[in-house]
Each structure stands twice: as C-alpha cells, then as structure tokens.
Amino acid sequence: MSLVRVKIDDEEIEVPEGTLVITAAEKLGKSIPHFCYHERLTPVAACRLCLVEIEGMPGLQPSCATKVKDGMIVRTNTKNVLDSHKSVLDLVLETHPLDCPKCEATGRCKLEDFTYEFGPHRVSYYRPPGISAYDYEELSWSPVLKFDPNKCVECSRCIRVCDEVQDCRALVASSRGHNWRITTFTGGPLHCDFCGACASVCPTGAIEQQPGKFWKKDWELEKHFVICSHCGHGCTLLLRGWEGRIARIEDDFKVGINRANICSRGRFGFDIISHSSRLSKPLLRSDGKLVEVTWEKALFAAMEMITASHSVIGLASGMLSVEELFLFSKLLASRNGKKFSESRDGDVIEFEKKRLGRYGSTHGFDQLDSFESIVLVDIPVEELDEVLRIDLISAAKKSGAKLFTAGRASFRLKKRIAGLFKINSQTLASAPAKTLFVVDTERIEEKELSAILEKVSSDPFTGILFVAAQSNSRALSSFGFRVLPSDEISEVDLMIAAGPLQMTERPTSVKRLIASASFRNELVESADLVFPAALPFEKSGTYVNSEGRAQYSDIAVPMAGESWPDAVIWISVMKELGEATPSTPREILDEVRNNHPELFERNYPVKSSEAEPKLPSTRLAPPKRHRGLLLDKSEWLRKLQEHLDFSKEFSPWF
Amino acid sequence: MILKSVYDGIKGLIAGYAVTITKFFSRGTTVPYPEKTPFVSERWRGVHGLFFTDNRFEELCVSCHLCAKVCPSVCITMEGSEDYLQRKRLKRFDVDLGRCIYCGYCEEVCPADAIRLTTSHDYVSRDRENLILHKEDLIEIGKSAMRRGEHGALGIRRGDGKKVVYQENRNLDASFKALSGERVKR
Ligand code: SF4
Ligand code: SF4
Ligand code: SF4
Ligand code: SF4
Ligand code: SF4
Ligand code: FES
C-alpha cells in the first residue's frame, strides 16, 4: 500500500492510501468530534458533526467519509469548522434531556465530552427544565439492556454493529424525520444474541447495560484486563469494578485476540462470581454429613485419604489454568494416579505431535481474512465459539472469503455458506487455493480428516485452525489427561475432581471422592472432602486458547469467602504429603515451560510487552487513593491480609 | 530616685487593676460552652446533612457522585442504585468527618442542593468509627437542620442572570431575594 502525504492544520503526516481524514487527524492527536463514525463500522456520514475544511473542495466535508489524497490540505480549527461543530451540537442538545448528573453514561459520554470541548455552553433553544423534547418512556429491552430514546443522538452505530459485526439485525430504525427512532425488530422486547455490542458502541447513555446500573460512575471504576475462560477463544475482557465487585464487562478494540467482540457469556456471565451457592469453607464428611472445617483440618484429611488409598484417579476440568492443571497432574503422578478429563475436545497436542510434526493452528483467529475460502469441517461454530462466528462473518464480508461446509452447517452461518465440501481423498486436489480448514478438535481422530490434515500441514497455501470447546483443552491434552471412559472405571479407592465439572453424580465404583469446586452441586454433595475453589478473575493463570496462543489473566477481584485457587490447593496438598513442588508462580511457570514447551510454541502476543506472561505482582498493591476508615474497604483489606498471612504459612503463590 | 521608681510601680499597678476591675464588671465576650450555645453564623460550615424536598418526603440527592469527586480530602464514599420508580438514588453515602476539612466544596458542586453544611458543630466522639456518618445519620442531621430552617452554608442560590432555573422544592421568595442580592433571612 502506498503512502500519501497530507497536511492537517500545518502538520504533515504520511498515511496509507485509503485512510479516512478523521483517522489521519487522530494519528496527529487532533480531536475531531464524531458520533456516527466508529473504527469498527462502515462510515455513513449521518451526523455531520465531523465536518472539516478541505482545500479545493466546496463547503465543509465530513472527515469520517472522506479518504485522504496526496497533497490534501485539511483544516480542523478554522472559525467556520468550529462554528459548525457548535451548531450541530446545539441542535442535538435541543432535544436532549440534559440529565448528565443522573445519567449512567457520564464520564464516558461522547456528547458530554464534545460539548465540553467544542459545544455551546448555553443552548440556544431554551426549554424549561422538566419539559423534555420527546418525553419517550425509558424501555427495558431485556434483563441486560435498557434503552432511553430521549438520549439517542441518532448516530445508528447500534444498528450497524448489530448488522455488520454481530450479524443479528435485531435493531432497526423506525419512521423518518423528526420521529426517526431506534427500535427492536419486533417493536417489543429485544430478541437477540445479547452480545452487548450496541451498548458498548453507543456514544451516549441511550443504550445501557442493566447489571451494575447506577452503582458507580465511570471514573470511579477500576480497569482490569482478564481472559474469558468460558470457551476456547480466549477473549480479552475489560473488567470494570470497584473494591472487589464487578460492575460490567467492557471491550477494548486494541487489546486481545477478539478485537472488541465479546459474546453474551463473556459479557454478562460475570455474576456467577457472587452466586448464592458459592462455597466459602472446606467441607468434610463426618457421620454422613458434610460439615464446615478449617483449611488445616481439610488438608490433613486429604493427606490421610490419599495415603490410605492404593488406587487414585484424577478428573480435571478444562477451565482450569495451565499452572493449576500442571500442579494437579503432578499430584496425580506422585501417586501413580490415572489422569482423566471430561473434555469433549480431542487429544490435539498428541495428534499434532504424531501426525503434523508441529504445534498449534497454522493461522490465528486474526488471520482469517487472508484466505480465499474457508472450510468448516462439520463444526457447530456458534455452539463452540461465538466470537469465531463473528470473525468468519467479517472475513466473508470484508475480504470476500467463501465459506464452505463439510458436514453439518452451522445454523447462524447458513446464509453465508457458498457451497458444500466433501472430505475424502480428493479433497485437497479439488480445494481452491488459499483454503483454511476450521476443524473441531473432537473429530481429529477420524481417518479421512486426519489424512487430509496431514497433507495440509505441508502445503504453504492451506491452513488449519483447530477449535476447542474448553479454555484449556490444549493443556489437558499436553499433561496427559484423557477422556474418562464412561463405563469402565474399575474399583478405585479415591477419585480427585478438580475444577468446574459437568459430572452430576459420583461414579459408584469410586470409594472416596475429594473435590475442589466453587459451587454446591450434586457432585459436591456426594463428596467426602470439598475444597472451595476460586473462580477465574479471582486468580491469576495462563490459558492456552484453541489456536495455541498462551495468554495470561490477572487477578481482578478478591476471592470469595475462604476459597483458594486450585494451584494453592494442590500445592498445599502436595506439601502435606511431603512431595517436592514448585511453589512460586515463577517456578511453576518455568517448570511448565521446560517440560511442556509445546504449549508456548505459538506465543504470539497481541502486544509485544506481553510476550512474557507476567506474574501477579500487583496482587497486594494497596488501593490507589487512601479513603480513610471506610468499613467495606477495610473488610476487603482484611481479606487480602488473610491471604497474605496464609501465603507465608503455606505457600508463596501470591 | 528610689521614690520615683516606687511611684512608677504603684502607678502601673493601679492602671493594671483598673483594666482588670473594669473588665470584671463589664459583659463577657466568651460563651460558657457547653452550658450555653454560642451564636453561630448561618453560613457556618458544620457537619453535613442530606436535605429533602420541602415536604420532607423525598431525597434531593440524585446520586451523581460529584461531591465524592470534588472532595479534596476524599472523605465521601457513595454507591447508587435504582429506586422503586427506576430513578437513580443513593444506596450508600458515607462521610468521614475525621478526614473532612469542611471546605464546603461538596455543597457548592451539588446540582440538586442535596448535601449542605449545617450549623451543627459539636460532633465529637471517642471512637474514630463514629466519625463516619452514614446515609441515615446524614438524613437525620439534614432533617433537623430543615426543622431549624437552615438552608446550608451557601444559602439558596440558583440561576444565572437571565434564565432562572428554579426547582419546585425551593422557597421561591427567598430565592428571589438571594438573586436580587439581598441577604437571605432565615
Ligand atoms: S447521554 Fe450524555 S449528555 Fe445525555 S444526559 Fe447522559 S451523560 Fe448527559
Ligand atoms: S446485544 Fe448484540 S445482538 Fe442484541 S441488539 Fe445489541 S448488538 Fe444486536
Ligand atoms: S441508541 Fe445510541 S448507538 Fe443507537 S443511534 Fe442512538 S445514540 Fe446511536
Ligand atoms: S467467545 Fe468464548 S472466550 Fe469469547 S467471550 Fe464468548 S465465551 Fe468468552
Ligand atoms: S453532589 Fe449532591 S446530588 Fe450529587 S451525589 Fe452528592 S449529594 Fe447527591
Ligand atoms: S462522524 Fe462524520 S458525519 Fe458522523
């Protein structure tokens, strides 16, 4: 792409051809007000807020829809331009309720910001207070989204994000002229994917998330980047919370593999952290009933149970972090225990090692646009990985990639499927150039498919993208956890279950059961010893997503009750048993890296500064502003202190 | 020589006693606090109160968090929530008097005139925890200040010259007087 030179307010900049004027100005650090322009969406030039003067063009031009040309001279600060900003904002404010103090959006509202910077500080069209221009009723679209039509500035970002990015088309514009208004497709409650993208792109407080509403102002909420562990995509979430509680999940276009796409599980699923059935203390079965005990007692009981057992098996969840799975497998190895998992995902590492001779998918989620055709090999995309569906749609729309399916067609992608594809020995010969095979790891063992994949991996023009359902299936496979055979667990003395599991009842052939769990469920009720485990966001750890990208997730909120991260639980159990174990995060990670380099093979981080997974150094940093003697805070600090004391005594994980 | 200094001494003594004796029989300037309540200016910046509408039925605060933001000693902590009419209202409001410097910024910034500094000035405690006023305490203080007819340290002030923005709960007469430059009578 060739570069062109443009001059913006006497400053010159070189940008690639086809760049929009507003983007070039942004690069120079100039602020041009805008509502309808958004970096993720196609420009529509509807709001006329971003007008600038361009030499040689008549009148004022919308900078969000004008591409730069070589030698273009742009002016953003002449009186004419500033007056136009002012009058457009004046017209918007005419119908605006001016409710900023009690509006959820203050602090991040674009209308507020631009009015402060450019706008009329007194509106020309005076309306007595209490009399709204429209007086529409505020609508609760769904339990997670609400809409206040009075605050809408008619930028249509929400319609476009729902259509172009999410491919849901749940929002439409109704009527024309002064009555132009956003409504749901049915006019009633919202029926959609509930991705929350519309609330995220809305420049004002018109569409807002319901959870955490009115709780805190934007400027009071902390920011933490965390990795979602609900599926194998490994999206980066921007968690906003205060004093250990979560207000909402936001997205950041610049950080993470998901490019600001988040599915409903990631966006609104954070409230499981404070679910009422969370376990807060270790439970031990005595006289047939589970009673709460101290950690010392629980660890001692675990030691007794493990030493008394001759045959041990372990069942691990793919939602645990790499470090935790590693420590759990170490514990099992020290007792010659068999390692099992519940994962539906296949042994992808084993397959890659034996058949492909390399680790990780050949291409990442962000490289889909470089292919001319993409073959979905019998894979229910939106069930496994919702954000991959969005990525596929964007590849099909933006770069014209053709989608083919071999086997089941994904329901939501049906419209975009260009044709069917047969997986047989002629597949490769008939495949168009530059093809990407998107493969469900559940099926890699199938004979024909694996033969094709073997061939593909040596072909430079085709690629393979593995998709797994669980956030750490690769680590499970690498540490040797195999799928639990449903019928044949022969008599075992002890089963140890780690992490969130789907299993609802204890296998009858198991004599004793130790479980680490976060919630009270049937499996917990049938266990002999239960450790309360911390959930993601409450603990740090590395997650290897289905591409094979290792990402580090930091601690964002304090742990619930007396729960511990699984890593700490298994370290403490091993110490109780007298086994040697790495105990600091650095030691654990180094050991994993040395023994299982395949997990870190494709560590191509989004930001170069994240090349090395960082360690939880900020864990016990004091709150930024000292706020005196407030009780809740000290409660929180007390909790942190307890964990600190514990770490001195048992393990230096923190 | 000696006589002269004796004379000077006695003169000084008499002058000194004269002052003492006159003061002894004149009216005092100090107040025997706490038996007697001292006169406090109506613009005294004392303990905060959360004020209500004139019928003392509804809170004025809209939970905008501006007082917490402006407070230079970071002594206000608050949380909002939704009330039964889906409006934004206060859930928790803590003022740490141990940190407060009684600058009155919170009153000045408040768009709803909800938080105002009252003339109440004798808030003491042996326990630091008691110096943290919660929402209920502040409402109590605000209501009693309203009963005494107080309007906060800044008095009633609203409007910007041409366009006067009144709120229904305001005492309109007093507002007009305040705007026309007259001192607010309480
Ligand atoms: S949407 Fe923005 S400008 Fe409108 S009331 Fe809310 S904060 Fe104020
Ligand atoms: S939540 Fe997502 S799917 Fe639903 S209307 Fe908003 S953008 Fe569309
Ligand atoms: S609801 Fe928000 S995003 Fe949608 S048109 Fe109105 S202001 Fe724009
Ligand atoms: S796609 Fe997967 S990783 Fe991304 S937000 Fe949804 S559940 Fe989380
Ligand atoms: S400034 Fe006034 S309205 Fe805003 S939160 Fe404080 S007391 Fe309430
Ligand atoms: S941002 Fe350019 S016209 Fe709306």
What residues of chain A lie within 8 A of the CB of B99, using their CB?
628
Residues A147 and A248 in one domain: yes
Q: Which among A583, A579, A547 is positioned nearest to A233, based on CA atoms? A: A547
Decide which of A226, A252, A274 is a domain's last residue: A274
Position A240 in a domain: yes
Contact state of A101 with B165 under an 8 Å Cβ cutoff: no
Position B75 in a domain: yes
Average pLDDT over residues A55-63: 93
Position B115 in a domain: yes
Report residue A481 as tokens: 């956890």
Residues A82 and A147 in one domain: no
User: Domain range for residue A213?
Assistant: 136-274
* Secondary structure element (H or E) that encloses residue B172, with its range: helix B172-179
Residues B82 and B174 in one domain: yes
Position B86 in a domain: yes
* Residue B77 touches chain A, beta carbons under 8 Å: yes
In sequence order, which residues have a C-beta less than 8 Å from that of residue A149 and are 6 or more positions away? A134, A136, A137, A138, A139, A181, A182, A206
State the pLDDT confidence band at B157, using cuts at 50, 70 and 90. Answer: very low
Judge whether A216 and A242 are in contact, CB under 8 Å.
Answer: yes
Position A652 in a domain: no
State the pLDDT confidence band at A428, using cuts at 50, 70 and 90. Answer: low
Residues B20 and B63 in one domain: no
Residues B23 and B63 in one domain: no
Position A114 in a domain: no
The pLDDT assigned to A628 comes to 35
- Percent pLDDT > 90 in chain A is 50
A157 lines ligand 3 (CB under 6 A): yes
Position B161 in a domain: yes
Q: Which of A319-323, A446-450, B70-74 has the lowest mean pLDDT?
A: A446-450
pTM summary value:
0.84
Residues A334 and A371 in one domain: no
* Residue B90 touches chain A, beta carbons under 8 Å: no
Cα of A195 to ligand 2 centre, how many Å? 5
Partners of residue A245 on adjacent β-strands: A242
With 70 as the cut, is the pLDDT of residue A643 above it? no
B61 → chain A, closest CA residue: A102
With 90 as the cut, is the pLDDT of residue A303 above it? yes
Residues B106 and B175 in one domain: yes
Contact state of A102 with B98 under an 8 Å Cβ cutoff: no
Q: Please give the residue that has the higher pLDDT: either B112 or B167.
A: B112
A195 lines ligand 2 (CB under 6 A): yes
Position A649 in a domain: no
Judge whether A250 and A200 are in contact, CB under 8 Å.
Answer: yes
Position A522 in a domain: yes
Backbone angles phi, psi at A182, to 5 degrees: -75, 135
Residues A247 and A325 in one domain: no
Task: Please state, in angstroms and rounded to a whole number, the distance separating the CA atoms of residues A116 and A109.
Answer: 11
With 60 as the cut, is the pLDDT of residue A632 above it? no
User: Domain range for residue B25?
Assistant: 1-30
Position B18 in a domain: yes
Closest Cβ opposite residue B62 in set A102, A138, A628: A102
Task: Please state, in angstroms and rounded to a whole number, the distance separating the CA atoms of residues A345 and A347.
Answer: 7
Residues A68 and A163 in one domain: no
Q: Which among A336, A577, A376, A383 is positioned nearest to A466, based on CA atoms? A: A376
The pLDDT assigned to B161 comes to 31
Residues A508 and A587 in one domain: yes
Cα of A115 to ligand 1 centre, how many Å? 10
- Total domains, chain B: 2
Q: For residue A219, give how far its alpha carbon lies from the nearest alpha carbon of chain B (Å).
A: 9
Q: Which of A72-76, A537-541, B38-42 has the lowest mean pLDDT?
A: B38-42
Closest Cβ opposite residue A129 in set B80, B99, B165: B165
CATH number where A171 lies: 3.30.70.20
Q: Which ligand gives the minimal distance to the CA of A147?
A: 3
Judge whether A523 and A503 are in contact, CB under 8 Å.
Answer: yes
Average pLDDT over residues A11-40: 93
Residues B77 and B23 in one domain: no
Position B169 in a domain: yes
* Secondary structure element (H or E) that encloses residue A89, with its range: helix A79-94
Please give the distance of CA A151 from its chain centroid, rounded to a whole number: 29
Contact state of B74 with A627 under an 8 Å Cβ cutoff: yes
Position B87 in a domain: yes
Residues B66 and B136 in one domain: yes
The pLDDT assigned to A488 comes to 63
- Percent pLDDT > 70 in chain A is 89
Residues A43 and A69 in one domain: yes
Average pLDDT over residues A480-495: 83
User: Hey, of B58, B64, B97, B160, which one would you mutate to test binding to chain A, going by the most A CBs within 10 A of its CB?
Assistant: B64
Q: Which of A193, A227, A231 to mutate to test the pocket of ligand 4 (most atoms within 8 A of CB)?
A: A231
Q: Which ligand gives the minimal distance to the CA of A63?
A: 6
A192 lines ligand 2 (CB under 6 A): yes
- Total domains, chain A: 4
A355 DSSP 8-state letter? I
State the pLDDT confidence band at A640, using cuts at 50, 70 and 90. Answer: low
What is the largest distance, in Å, between two alpha-carbon atoms of chain A? Answer: 89
Q: For residue A126, give how far its alpha carbon lies from the nearest alpha carbon of chain B (Å).
A: 9
Q: Which of A101-105, A320-324, A603-607, B12-16 has the lowest mean pLDDT?
A: A603-607
With 70 as the cut, is the pLDDT of residue B140 above it? yes
Average pLDDT over residues A533-544: 90
Residues B14 and B72 in one domain: no
* Residue A178 touches chain B, beta carbons under 8 Å: no
Average pLDDT over residues A203-217: 92
The pLDDT assigned to A639 comes to 52
* Residue B97 touches chain A, beta carbons under 8 Å: no
Judge whether B88 and B82 are in contact, CB under 8 Å.
Answer: yes
The H-assigned helical ranges of A335-423 are 348-351, 381-384, 386-398
Inter-CA distances, B130 with B126, B137, B142, Å? 8, 10, 18
The pLDDT assigned to A551 comes to 86
Residues A215 and A188 in one domain: yes
Backbone angles phi, psi at B159, to 5 degrees: 100, 160
With 60 as the cut, is the pLDDT of residue A580 above it? yes
Q: Which among A557, A567, A617 is positioned nearest to A246, based on CA atoms? A: A557
Mean model confidence pLDDT for chain A? 85
Task: Please state, in angstroms and rounded to a whole number, the distance separating the CA atoms of residues A332 and A370.
Answer: 43
Residues B127 and B54 in one domain: yes
Q: For residue B84, give how far its alpha carbon lies from the nearest alpha carbon of chain A (Å).
A: 13
Residues A60 and A148 in one domain: no
Q: What is the ipTM of this complex?
A: 0.78
In sequence order, which residues have a C-beta less than 8 Å from that of residue A560 and are 6 or more positions away? A273, A274, A278, A280, A518, A532, A534, A535, A538
Residues A237-291 pLDDT 10s? 999 998 888 999 999 888 888 989 999 999 999 988 989 999 999 999 998 899 9
Partners of residue A227 on adjacent β-strands: A236
Cα of A139 to ligand 1 centre, how many Å? 17
Residues A68 and A164 in one domain: no
State the pLDDT confidence band at A130, using cuts at 50, 70 and 90. Answer: low
A20 class by beta-carbon count within 10 Å (0-12 exposed, 13-18 middle, 19+ buried): buried
A514 lines ligand 1 (CB under 6 A): no
With 80 as the cut, is the pLDDT of residue A609 above it? no
What residues of chain A lie within 8 A of the CB of B88, using their CB?
102, 104, 214
Decide which of A274, A308, A323 is a domain's last residue: A274
Position B43 in a domain: no
A567 class by beta-carbon count within 10 Å (0-12 exposed, 13-18 middle, 19+ buried): buried
DSSP characters over A102-168: G-TTTTT-HHHHHHHHTS-SS-SS---TT--SS-PPPEE-SSSEEE-GGG-----HHHHIIIIIS--
Residues A267 and A142 in one domain: yes
Parallel/antiparallel/unpaired status of strands A60-62 and A11-16: unpaired
* Residue A217 touches chain B, beta carbons under 8 Å: yes
Q: For residue B183, give how far its alpha carbon lies from the nearest alpha carbon of chain A (Å).
A: 26
Instruction: Check residue A421 and give left, alpha or beta (phi > 0: left; psi -120 to 50: alpha).
Output: beta
Report residue A188 as tokens: 């009633």
Closest Cβ opposite residue B111 in set A101, A219, A220: A101
Residues B72 and B164 in one domain: yes
* Secondary structure element (H or E) that encloses residue A61, with its range: strand A60-62
The pLDDT assigned to A429 comes to 66
Residues A68-126 pLDDT 10s? 999 999 999 999 999 999 999 999 998 888 888 889 999 999 999 999 999 888 888 87
Handedness of CA A401, A402, A408, A411 (dihedral sign): positive
Residues A268 and A384 in one domain: no
Judge whether A329 and A592 are in contact, CB under 8 Å.
Answer: no
The pLDDT assigned to A620 comes to 32
Average pLDDT over residues A537-564: 88
In sequence order, which residues have a C-beta less than 8 Å from that of residue A463 and are 6 or more positions away? A361, A362, A363, A367, A371, A435, A436, A437, A456
CATH number where A72 lies: 3.10.20.740
State the pLDDT confidence band at A160, using cuts at 50, 70 and 90. Answer: very high
Q: How many CB atoms lie within 10 A of CB A364?
A: 18
Task: Classify A21 as helix, strand or coil.
Answer: helix
Position A614 in a domain: no
Position A624 in a domain: no
Residues B140 and B78 in one domain: yes
Residues A383-409 pLDDT 10s? 889 999 999 999 999 888 999 888 877
Residues B129 and B61 in one domain: yes
Residues B77 and B104 in one domain: yes
What residues of chain B lie within 8 A of the CB of A129, using their CB?
165, 167
